[in-house]
Amino acid sequence: MDPRTTSLLALFTEGRTRFTKLLDTLTEADLPKKLAPGPNSIGFLVRHIGDVEMLFAKNVFGLKEVQVHAKTVIAQHDTGEWTDLAALKTYVHESAATLQRAIEATSDAEWESVIETKEFGRKTKAEALGRIVTHTAYHAGQLAMIKKYGL
């Protein structure tokens, strides 16, 4: 792997630890918890993180073979269906591995190539990586607060 790619992969891996450490502490009883008046449950947010990671692997980093049905993005609200902890963990482990594979396949020169999406406009791949890392960390913070204070 190229040096920049190696560094950015380390950033992705470390940036995701807030989420992965929290994920290890979740129980199925935690999944329906919400923090009023917020609409999203822990289960929804875990699935959402996986959905967005898969979308990034496919649409931002170009892994066209990735099959993703981003249910949380499509629904745009919590449908209450995210209650199977084992399935959620499997999905977010898969999404992380898929995004990692996409990062590893990116050459140092490609990090400055510009991509454009309707969600966030024009960004270099390096900037887009920053976006997905902070997206996951942002929702990990929400998850921690809901786990601690939610009902």
Tell me what pLDDT residue 83 has.
Answer: 97
Do 103 and 8 meet the contact criterion of CB atoms below 8 Å apart? yes
Mean pLDDT of the chain: 96
Neighbours of 126 (CB within 10 A): 15
pLDDT of 141 above 90: yes
pLDDT of residue 120: 87
State what percent of residues in the chain have pLDDT above 90.
95
* Segment 87-137, tens digit of pLDDT: 999 999 999 999 999 999 999 999 999 999 888 899 999 999 999 999 999
pLDDT of residue 3: 96
Question: For the residues 57-86, what does the mean pLDDT come to?
Answer: 94
41 contacts 34 by C-beta, under 8 angstroms: yes
**According to the model, what pLDDT value does residue 45 have?**
98
Contact 123, 133 (CB under 8 A): no
In this prediction, residue 135 carries a pLDDT of: 97
Give 3-149's CATH code, choosing from 1.10.1050.10, 3.10.250.10, 1.20.120.450, 3.40.50.970. 1.20.120.450
Q: Which tokens is 121 given?
A: 């406009």
Q: How many residues does this entry show for the chain?
A: 151
- CA 98 to each of CA 89, 94, 117, 135: distance values in angstroms, whole numbers, following the listed order: 14, 6, 19, 17
